Structure 1
Amino acid sequence: MSAFLALGECMVELSSAGDGLYRRGFAGDTLNTAWYMRRLLPQDWTVGYATCVGTDAISDAMVSFLDGEGIDTGAIRRVPERTVGLYMITVEEGERSFSYWRGQSAARMLAEDLKWLDGALKGREMIHFSAITLAILPPKSREVFCGALAKARKRGAIVAFDTNLRPKLWESPEAMRAGLTMGARTADIVLPSFDEEEVLWGDTDPAQTLRRYRDHGADLVAIKQGGGDLVLWQAQAGESRVQAQKVESIVDTTAAGDSFAAGLLAGLACGKTLADSAGQAMQLASRVIQAPGALVPEAVSGL
């Protein structure tokens, strides 16, 4: 049996249910990717999620949710003195804004127990993490975390890195650039979004983005451009492009990149060509953004 593992932070989500009431859910960028991976991969693959949670009732509810979605929770570590992070979505005049409470989040301790982390990574054919995974960690823990991933890569795991930028999570722009560089150097597959690369690095075209991550040692780079073409580069095949699919009505872009990552990685894991995997990724993301919420079961139908 083959094994996929995503690492990061799953948070409690509070979204408006009307009349001053809020609906509770669970979400997070790498969790969203794992959720879609479970629905795309055959059953001879296990899909696991590695994070740290507390021992309180809301942590129990989160783990139960993951179990119920078919995600293996065996790599979740319990930290008694901590709990899980929470965010609330507020919508004003159609615009979504987010308020976060994650000061006591156990996920910030992902790299505090190296024996546990190494154990969670062993035996995985494919591992996925993001810049958010790194951003929530204390600065020194980022090196420990990436060191553990580098060991897993040497053991044969394919490591994928989504460069999800959340500037408010980092201590400074310099720390963010250093963190992204560290993450990219740890990965075989890098998944940047060009609009974010423009802001952080001052890139003027995808060729600059591609060159940077290629020089960091990636074997595969997939540069997303929103409604523009997908720019691909693979060490064995060079550069190519996939035309973006036209979407008539965009409802919610929350998990566009997360679902894209799942579509691409699942395709590659199943032995599809890069072109077919990229096409699957773009089709899935285009469906997801036409529905509300991050987790859209019907978006996977027929893929």
Structure 2
Amino acid sequence: MVELANAGEGLYRQGFAGDTFNTLWHFARHAPAGWQAAYLTGLGTDRISEEMMAFFKQAGIGTDTVRRIPGAAPGLYMIHLKDGERSFSYWRDMAAAKQLAADEAHLAETFAIGDAFYFSGITLAILSPADRVRLLSHLARARAKGQMVAFDPNVRPRLWPDLDTAKAAVEAAAQVSTLCLPSFEDEQNTFGDESRAATAERYRRLGVDEVVVKDGGGAALVVSADGEDDVPSIAPQALVDTTGAGDSFNAAYLAARLGGASPAEATRAGHRLACHVVSGHGALVA
């Protein structure tokens, strides 16, 4: 999406960001040898879409998987900050990304060349019900082939018609995923979980092999075939902006795991990158 961040004195700085893109942008910088990042999304053919495509390429992100949709345009959001914590205003009703799974042939071509896949609850929330089912079917086939399918539930209630629909979609997504990276606050608010352990256990019961429960600035709980680990976070010297903290954690975790690190080692890598990102402005901190 197009990002507008307050630059002071009534001015705003334009950038490009969004939850899955933030993760991909950071992953491209930390990817292990032999791995390349590519983005499955939808973009228009307007000027700002062309600028976004150029930004993808500059970041080392493959664009052959981007679906171009004449007449469509990117979504837009604005960041509001107070004491380092952020809130957002969105304009995404006509966003081209909402059509990223509408073309079966394009989806099939993309999944044929991918070796690992990452998506989020926001990905699911912006799709039509039919497109959501189509995407999850391809992800299920990827998992059946033994490929990594990583999922961050990232529940944003205002994107869903009601909470029951959101919960059902998250559970369906978990059932096709090998790795889940939930945030405890979201899970507590959505599912009523009383602890990080309850969150991890719920996703394990849904069939997820590996669960990492993030907890803001607290420790992350990792549950996998290796057992359980409570991995402390790293406190930043200065908390500037929490935008993209969880997204960057996910990027470092995925890069580390695909590079052969253990879940605990990957969690420490996630904490290190998240600590760095919250020390700067915006989601994409070089």
TM range (shorter): over 0.9
> Given the alignment, which residue of 39, 42, 60 partners 1:70?
60
Deviations 1:200-234 (A, max 9, x none): 11111122111110011111000011222211111
Percent identity (aligned): 44
CA contact (8 A) 1:125 1:156 kept: no
> Given the alignment, which residue of 175, 189, 195 partners 1:199?
189
Describe the SS at the equivalent of 1:15: strand
Match of 2:226 in 1: 237
Describe the SS at the equivalent of 1:212: helix
Alignment of 1:242-253 (within 5 A): 242-253=231-242
Shift of 1:59: 0.7
- The CA distance in 1 between the partners of 2:6 and 2:218, in whole Å, is 32
Establish whether residue 144 from structure 1 lines up as the match of residue 134 from structure 2: yes
Match of 1:86 in 2: 76
- The CA distance in 2 between the partners of 1:239 and 1:91, in whole Å, is 35
- The CA distance in 1 between the partners of 2:197 and 2:32, in whole Å, is 35
Cα distance change of structure 1 residues 79 and 244 upon mapping to structure 2, 3 Å threshold: same
Cα distance change of structure 1 residues 214 and 260 upon mapping to structure 2, 3 Å threshold: same
Cα distance change of structure 1 residues 240 and 290 upon mapping to structure 2, 3 Å threshold: same
- The CA distance in 1 between the partners of 2:81 and 2:219, in whole Å, is 30
CA contact (8 A) 2:234 2:272 kept: yes
Alignment of 1:73-222 (within 5 A): 73-91=63-81, 96-222=86-212
TM-score (norm 2): 0.95
Cα distance change of structure 1 residues 91 and 221 upon mapping to structure 2, 3 Å threshold: closer
CA contact (8 A) 2:5 2:282 kept: no
Deviations 1:23-62 (A, max 9, x none): 2110011111111111111453211011011111111111
Establish whether residue 40 from structure 1 lines up as the match of residue 15 from structure 2: no
- The CA distance in 2 between the partners of 1:25 and 1:251, in whole Å, is 18
Deviations 1:69-111 (A, max 9, x none): 1111110011113111011234578764422111111111122
Shift of 1:147: 0.7
CA contact (8 A) 1:190 1:221 kept: yes
Establish whether residue 265 from structure 1 lines up as the match of residue 254 from structure 2: yes
Give, as a single letter, the amino acid of the residue that structure 2 aligns with 1:54.
G
Establish whether residue 223 from structure 1 lines up as the match of residue 221 from structure 2: no
Give, as a single letter, the amino acid of the residue that structure 1 aligns with 2:284.
L
Match of 1:281 in 2: 270
Establish whether residue 56 from structure 1 lines up as the match of residue 14 from structure 2: no
- The CA distance in 2 between the partners of 1:95 and 1:232, in whole Å, is 25
- The CA distance in 1 between the partners of 2:86 and 2:246, in whole Å, is 17
Give, as a single letter, the amino acid of the residue that structure 2 aligns with 1:87.
Y
CA contact (8 A) 1:160 1:190 kept: yes
- The CA distance in 2 between the partners of 1:91 and 1:160, in whole Å, is 29
- The CA distance in 2 between the partners of 1:270 and 1:182, in whole Å, is 28
- The CA distance in 1 between the partners of 2:269 and 2:122, in whole Å, is 24
TM-score (norm 1): 0.90
Cα distance change of structure 1 residues 190 and 23 upon mapping to structure 2, 3 Å threshold: same
Q: How many residues align?
A: 286
Give, as a single letter, the amino acid of the residue that structure 1 aligns with 2:143.
R
**Unaligned stretches of 5+ residues in structure 1:** 1-10, 298-303
Match of 1:5 in 2: none
CA contact (8 A) 2:84 2:239 kept: no
CA contact (8 A) 1:111 1:141 kept: yes
CA contact (8 A) 1:268 1:274 kept: yes
Shift of 1:284: 0.9
